[in-house]
Amino acid sequence: MMSKLNRYQQIIEHIFLANFVEGAREIEFEREDFVRAANELGVRLPKNLEPR
């Protein structure tokens, strides 16, 4: 049985899946993507990822 993803994992996975292109070696994202992903997922943004 797989454990539930914590909010960091949920946010990273969301950003990855939104930006993934097959064959890419890197995935570009910006700090604001963390805020957007948390809002879209309905999870609280971790303090160290809050907007500056």
- Would residue 5 count as lying in a domain? yes
- Would residue 6 count as lying in a domain? yes
Tens of pLDDT along 1-44? 557 999 999 999 999 999 999 999 999 999 999 999 999 999 99
Place of tokens 């879209």: 40
Produce one character per residue of 19-38: b if its CB has 16 or more CB atoms within 10 Å, e if not: eeeeeeeeeeeeeebbebbb
Domain count, the chain: 1
- Would residue 23 count as lying in a domain? no
Residue 41 burial by Cβ neighbours in a 10 Å radius (0-12, 13-18, 19+): middle
Domain interval for residue 48? 1-18+28-52
Q: What's the confidence (pLDDT) of residue 1? A: 53
- Would residue 10 count as lying in a domain? yes
Q: What's the confidence (pLDDT) of residue 8? A: 93
- Would residue 9 count as lying in a domain? yes
